[in-house]
Structure 1
Amino acid sequence: MTWKIFKKDKNAVKTKKGPVREWADAILFAVIAATLIRTLFIEAYVIPSGSMEGSLLIGDYLFVSKVNYGARMPITPIGIPFTAHTIPYTDTKSYVDVQLPYYRLPGFSDIKKGDIVVFNLPTEADSPLYRPVDRRENIIKRCQGTAGDTLSLVNALVYVNGKPRPPVSEGKMAYVIKTDGSGINPNLVNELHIDDFGAVDNATFTGNATLESIKQLKTYSNIKSITPNIAIKGFVDDRSGPVYPLSHPDYKIGEMPRYNWNVDNFGPVIIPKKGWTVKLDSLTFPIYGRAIAVYEHNTVKVNGKDIFINGKKADTYTFKMNYYWMMGDNRHNSTDSRYWGFLPEDHVVGKALFTWMSIDSTASFANKIRWSRLFRGIK
């Protein structure tokens, strides 16, 4: 057999890429690189609501680390890049509903109490959206309890394993403000960043404020008293409505037990931990049934007082994932774990690192940028 060796002709003319091909290659490379960075390392996020004020403000732009807790691999990998769940300005899905099993790369640390975490909104698992985990809206809250903790709220103070959690210094609470009848200057309300400010009568007002703002307000001579506007223990608060699990009565054994919990007095509840076995009865099932059925993908049916999981009668259940308890720092203006229950670990997106930009949409053009918040660490 004769082998012919072909040598590259040094004088051959190379075919030059046209401008369209060069642009296409550059765009493809940029999309792939950006997707890998957003998936594995870091992603930008903007604060859309006031649930974390005053720790984080509406219009704060954050960088969120994927590596701290370990990057979550895409669950719905086929879709239009840089879209969440729908094609912009349409109601059309931006992804193909082909789902892979949940998997997370190793991270630097576990979620700790006090961490500010970005995660997917658990309630979008429900009707009418039924979105996959990684296609649910991103929201941000502070972790108050981790897997295995026993958590309760007593007069708006969080207790974990019987010990009080320190209040967030920059967080907000609801207050009742009594004056001598002369009212409160609206400019002062804006200066002290008092939210949801309203009048009960000519001398009484309500609003959400930080401890520092309340201290300053107390120095004015027309202020007679300021007291926290806390829901009474044992009663459902009309301001907030029913809290979990009454807010999500997915499964019932007879009638739902009267837990008599509200937004400021809640629990105690044990936060599920991977491998923990809970006894299922009429008191515990309404609390843990949602996690068992919705988040851990079991078929659950109730027949009288009997509970069936995947067709088998069950009086216990062993959890497959870790869960967390998330709450907003603006305590009385936050829809969080008090309303939708435990956060599953597969919903966790990443840890908030720092604000790189902050824009006040309500300010004048010259004052739009909050310069003091640029490149500010998050704590």
Structure 2
Amino acid sequence: MSLHDLFIIILISLLIVELPAFGLAKLFEKAGIPSWKAWVPFYNIWEILKATGLKKHWFYWQFLPVAGWFISIWLLVEFVKLFGKFSFLDHVGAALLSVLYFPYIGADKKVKFLGPQAVKNHKKTTVREWIDAGVFAVVAATLIRVFVFEAYTIPTGSMEKTLLVNDFLFVSKLTYGPRIPNTPLAIPFVHHTLPVFNTKSYTEIIHLPYTRWFASPVKRNDVVVFNFPAGDTLTKELDSQDPYYDILQSEEMRQYQQLKGQIANEAELQAVSKQKAREIVWSDYTIMTRPVDKRENYIKRCVAIAGDTIQIVDGILYVNGQKAFISPTSATDYMVTTASNRILNDDELREAGIRLNSDERNPDFIQYGANSYQINLSEAEADILRKMPGVTVTRKLENVGDPRIFPRDTAVVLWSVDEFGPLWIPKKGATIQLNVKNIACYKRAIKVYENNDWEERDGKIFINGKEATSYTFKMNYYWMMGDNRHRSQDSRFWGFVPEDHVVGSAWLIWMSWDHGVRWNRMFKSIH
């Protein structure tokens, strides 16, 4: 736990006991307790304990990290019982809306101090006992999941060999500050879709703007969980398995090839291809959108932060002109050839200390011929192979331009996963000049992520109805890449990750499974 995390925990603890102070002061007067004591953090809880007659050890339990929050809230609920407040709504008000509820009942002249005897005389029904216990458990678990940490499972090999498929993680929400949900009205414990019913688990009747408490920026090389930026628009049929923008681009390329002999003008050809592709996709699929906090969760390494300039040359990442950090467990594809009398097999490699995944759909070991192989290796594993007699190891590079690579505008640039950039990462408060070469890279950030109206006409750009030659960014952005560089769909394909999409940092592997428990990965911190 970092100092920042500890600071947030302490600050939230103080807010829980201090926010109701104004109303508590009124109630303290009614209970014969000097009102000034309500304003002293934790001393006010000590006075509540004395008034309720509860055991004094509860005072010390509230200093436990996170769990102590709920003990403090429980003690506030116990206090309102001394004033005859036994209804379910009264207890919800004391627990969740203390800043409003306590002043409300404190100002009510009908509310009188009845003392501990009134609590002893009040008997709850069995049904009410179960309801209270269930609601408390759901609320506590939901608050922890939203504001403190959340369990997450690694679904793909994009972070191999740092994180393995079926690693079970705890993701810290405190590291970058708890993010207030955009859609607070949602069914607990599910993300965006209700199982079985296959319907939305949330409603957008209330939609809150982006807010993050006690914000701390993402640092270079952090392993980060974030909402999939290109997950704003999806098809109901394929969801994020095949994102809408990928489907649309594929159809655009198909239309371009079909119309190439019919339309001579290149600009017109591209415009017509895009229009026809959009009409076809919207006709063939059911298009849906999702708010930021309900987009699919991805996990990658933040290789560059706001204000950095990145470039990939021959598969090597550079940040601000310097070679970037490479995790010792980062992997990439290598071409391996052996002498005519030398044959490799995956069992031999495993015995030599090389880890190969067991996913048949995306294997780490592929044999192309009697003496040719493609193997997914970390640098240390590549060194093991280089020391074997009769073995030659060379890094596999994808140097051919790929139209799927960001910014997906071949008229401007055509990059590949191993030859990319240079590209500047937008920074909050920084201003860029808009021109033909860079609008392809920054248009989505300006239009979609920062919610501006964007229009291009007569060779000019109009933002929110006004002609614009420059733009000042409102948020910080990050560049995320998988440690498994040739097996990762990451920022190289869909671009920047805005700060409002950041969920938390990958903190701890609490469980790992592959045909049995992988004991050597249990309770392993993530770097």
The alpha-carbon distance between structure 1 residues 261 and 16, as it changes in their structure 2 partners (threshold 3 A), is: same
1:301-321 Cα offsets, whole Å, 9 max, x none, are 222422121222211111110
Q: Does 1:372 align with 2:525?
A: no
Aligned with 1:350: secondary structure? Answer: strand
1:166-214 Cα offsets, whole Å, 9 max, x none, are 3211110110010124432232355522343222322211121112222
Select 2:374's aligned residue among 202, 206, 212. Answer: 206
| 2:148 counterpart residue number | 41
Give the count of matched residue pairs.
354
| 2:207 counterpart residue number | 99
Select 1:245's aligned residue among 407, 420, 423. Answer: 407
The answer as to whether partners of 2:221 and 2:325 remain within 8 angstroms in 1 is no
| 1:22 counterpart residue number | 129
Q: What is the CA–CA distance in structure 2 between the aligned matches of 1:9 and 1:151, rounded to whole Å?
A: 66
Aligned with 2:141: secondary structure? Answer: helix
The alpha-carbon distance between structure 1 residues 12 and 164, as it changes in their structure 2 partners (threshold 3 A), is: closer
TM-score (norm 2): 0.64
Aligned with 1:231: secondary structure? Answer: coil
Can you give the 5+ residue segments of structure 1 that lack an aligned partner in the other structure?
Answer: 250-255
Deviation for aligned residue 1:60? 1.0
1:53-68 aligned at under 5 Å gives the runs 53-68=160-175
1:313-328 aligned at under 5 Å gives the runs 313-328=467-482
The answer as to whether partners of 1:355 and 1:373 remain within 8 angstroms in 2 is yes
Instruction: Select the structure that is richer in strand.
Output: 1
| 2:5 counterpart residue number | none
Q: Does 1:228 align with 2:390?
A: no
Q: What is the CA–CA distance in structure 2 between the aligned matches of 1:216 and 1:67, rounded to whole Å?
A: 39
| 2:490 counterpart residue number | 336
| 1:252 counterpart residue number | none
* Identical residues among aligned pairs (%): 46
TM-score (norm 1): 0.88
Tell me which amino acid in the other structure corresponds to 2:461. I
1:182-331 aligned at under 5 Å gives the runs 182-190=342-350, 192-194=354-356, 195-223=363-391, 225-232=392-399, 235-236=400-401, 242-246=404-408, 256-331=410-485
The answer as to whether partners of 1:157 and 1:167 remain within 8 angstroms in 2 is no
Greater CA drift, 292-301 or 214-223 = 214-223
The answer as to whether partners of 1:150 and 1:161 remain within 8 angstroms in 2 is yes
RMSD over equivalenced CA pairs, Å: 2.2
The answer as to whether partners of 2:346 and 2:365 remain within 8 angstroms in 1 is no
Q: What is the CA–CA distance in structure 2 between the aligned matches of 1:327 and 1:58, rounded to whole Å?
A: 17
Tell me which amino acid in the other structure corresponds to 2:164. L
Can you give the 5+ residue segments of structure 2 that lack an aligned partner in the other structure?
Answer: 1-111, 236-287, 357-362
| 1:253 counterpart residue number | none
Q: What is the CA–CA distance in structure 1 between the aligned matches of 2:510 and 2:503, rounded to whole Å?
A: 19
Deviation for aligned residue 1:10? 6.4
> Which has the bigger relative contact order, CA under 8 A and spacing at least 6?
1
Instruction: Select the structure that is richer in helix.
Output: 2
Deviation for aligned residue 1:74? 0.9
Deviation for aligned residue 1:294? 1.1
The answer as to whether partners of 1:125 and 1:294 remain within 8 angstroms in 2 is no
The answer as to whether partners of 1:257 and 1:282 remain within 8 angstroms in 2 is no
Q: What is the CA–CA distance in structure 2 between the aligned matches of 1:200 and 1:277, rounded to whole Å?
A: 50
Deviation for aligned residue 1:53? 0.7
User: Which has the larger Rg?
Assistant: 2
Q: What is the CA–CA distance in structure 1 between the aligned matches of 2:482 and 2:207, rounded to whole Å?
A: 30
